[in-house]
A = this chain, B = another copy of it.
């Protein structure tokens, strides 16, 4: 059954614009058909179509439930790469796999100073709809690395930095059920000063495997490792 994201869970819900068109034209839904709904914040429901045309689709909610958020929390911050598509891919794939929060931070070796956050949110919404999850990840506006480090705190804080030491694999270093932060560096890595600031805040260097990964791949691999160690963690 198709999943739609709605902003508010009233008894009668109206889908408009692109969503209504998708429902009517692409999925060819008719009056009486059922569709799944979520508000992207844990509420899930089933709506019965009571009135549909290409501009507008009216639904009556016939079932509603609340799904608890995961007891662990994955927050990944990435230094934005030159190619915007690669960040969109990261957001899409991490949403499918199970990320909770995404940040972008500008560092000394940043390749990009602006970010289309609205486009990233759109990617996350579309990934959520087909992944069967009911929580939309939070996507923050671009911040500076220093400010971001000051502001964010978690049970376990990691940095994926190729510092040539024998770092532990992330999935062996992290403990299930925690709130995690993972910082992914730019192509040239973080500067020594930046790494020093992270170490002082309690960040640990970790490895994401044997090969050199592009930033967006590192983000996806990190997210996957956190999800794997929490596979048996209760809601």
Cα A217 to Cα B127 in complex, Å, equals 11
Residue A227 is within 8 A (CB to CB) of chain B in the complex: yes
Kindly report how many copies of this chain are found in the complex they form together. 2
Cα A214 to Cα B126 in complex, Å, equals 12
Mark contacts of A117-132 with chain B using CB atoms, 8 A cut-off: 1 yes-contact digit, 0 otherwise: 0000000000000111
The count of chain A contact residues (Cβ–Cβ below 8 Å) is 25
Cα A231 to Cα B206 in complex, Å, equals 14
Residue A11 is within 8 A (CB to CB) of chain B in the complex: no
Contact call B169/A213, Cβ cutoff below 8 A: no
Contact call A96/B214, Cβ cutoff below 8 A: yes
Given A89-B89, A224-B224, A228-B171, CB of A98 within 8 Å of CB of B214: no
14 A–B contacts from the bound complex (CB under 8 Å): A89-B89, A93-B217, A96-B211, A96-B213, A97-B213, A98-B210, A98-B211, A130-B214, A131-B212, A209-B224, A209-B228, A210-B227, A221-B224, A225-B228
